[in-house]
Amino acid sequence: MATDPLILVRAVHFAATLLAAGTTIFISAVAEPAAGKPGLATLRHQLIVLVWLALTVAVVAGGVWLVLLASDILGSSISDICLHGGAWQVLTDTRFGQVWCTRLALALLLALVLPWRATRWLQITIVAAFLGLLALVGHAGATPGPAGDLHLVSDVLHLLAAGAWLGGLPAFAFFLWQAGRGTGRARDAATVRVVDRFSRLGVLSVGILLASGLVNSWSLLNGPRDLIASDYGHLVALKIALFGAMVAIAAVNKFYLTPRLPKAAALRALRRNSLAEICLGLCVLVFVAVLGTQPPGTHVHAASTGIPLDAAFVHIHDQEVMADVTIEPGRAGRTDVTIRVSREDFSSYPAKDVRLTLDPPSAGAQTIDRAATKQADGSWLVNDLTLTHAGIWTAKVIVRPVAGAPLVLDAPVVIGR
């Protein structure tokens, strides 16, 4: 796990995304409203360059993330993915790819509008979307039903709060460093106003992080026991401990150091503490990157039967029903599909009938739509299918219960050559 390159790439991408968003928010919502535009001209130009650099790193890391994900999904080497266009399949046929394209467009748009002060609310809107869309490619985006919607909203708020506070800390520390190099009553007064405004933004962000963190933990953990009984829970517990240390430092900054400004000693201590918060925040981002590659307790579902080595398999779960879809053999050509439907506790689900559709990776290819036949062991079989293309197909299982509306479950599944 520690040597997985995807973890490093995710951590770099998250850090660059938060830095770009937090610096933009710091310029538009903190520094200029508090200190005024004339006195911040040089600082603004320097921070804009920082945002451009952060966006560049975020885009490059996002591209590497796409290639690594394509390699994992398609089971091919990175060189094969780059030479034979496997990344393009992931880009066009998966939610991750669609989100990636949208965020790339937002990054380019933000880079273009940054120099114009009059677009500051547009800039904040863009970075909010740029940050919030990350929730769609995480665990929240994979959780179905009303609980999934709540989790998704909570995760978006979590990202926005982290961007405003943690992402804004480097710009805040840079501002404090510049403030320490100057003198004068006007400059001291502006420094106090900026610190006070960022402090209030930090308090709001911490409140949102606490509330959304509780919702996310409720969605991803089976209970408090997971914090000590599972690997995923251990990482969450460490993340919580680091967050607690950051909050403790922020409390010292707000209640002890800020009232003593603009004294030079308080300014130096505030700058030093901000750097410590940044270091702790980077550690938190590493844990976030690792957590994104691990299945949380509520998403762990073992296959009900052994999976054949040559099969393509996908587990799909909803609030009411789960489906295990086994395509054997899992490659282009003639194949059979076995579907097992069950409740969350793995007891048999009383389905009246089950239907399967398979959407191909190529737009011009034909969608397969077949009714499944119930077998003596309770599974549902769709036999003698012909898969015309290798690539990422979308399996959709329509389960019609004895009473009520049909339930639809869908997920991507990789079909080999």
Is the link from the previous residue into 329 a cis peptide, with omega within 30 of 0? yes
pLDDT at 114 exceeding the cut of 60: yes
Q: Phi first, then psi: give them for residue 320, nearest 5 degrees.
A: -105, -25
pLDDT at 417 exceeding the cut of 70: yes
Mean pLDDT of the 256-267 span? 88
| pLDDT tens profile 312-356 | 888 887 667 888 999 999 888 899 999 999 876 677 888 899 999
pLDDT (0 to 100) of residue 39: 59
pLDDT (0 to 100) of residue 123: 94
**How much of the chain, in percent, has pLDDT values that exceed 70?**
86
- CB neighbour class for 85 (10 Å; exposed up to 12, middle 13-18, buried from 19): exposed
pLDDT (0 to 100) of residue 1: 43
For residue 132, which amino acid is it?
G
pLDDT (0 to 100) of residue 164: 93
Report, in this order, helix, strand and coil percent for the chain, each rounded to 5.
60, 15, 20
Question: For the chain, what is the mean pLDDT?
Answer: 84
Selected residue with higher pLDDT from 1 and 33: 33
Selected residue with higher pLDDT from 304 and 63: 63
pLDDT at 242 exceeding the cut of 60: yes
Mean pLDDT of the 201-213 span? 91
pLDDT (0 to 100) of residue 294: 67
In order of start, what are the domains of the chain with their CATH numbers?
5-299 (1.20.1630), 312-415 (2.60.40.1930)
Least confident piece of the model among 35-44, 234-243, 391-400: 35-44
pLDDT (0 to 100) of residue 144: 56
pLDDT at 402 exceeding the cut of 60: yes
Structure tokens at 127: 């970075």
> By C-alpha distance, which of 5, 3, 10 is closest to 291?
10
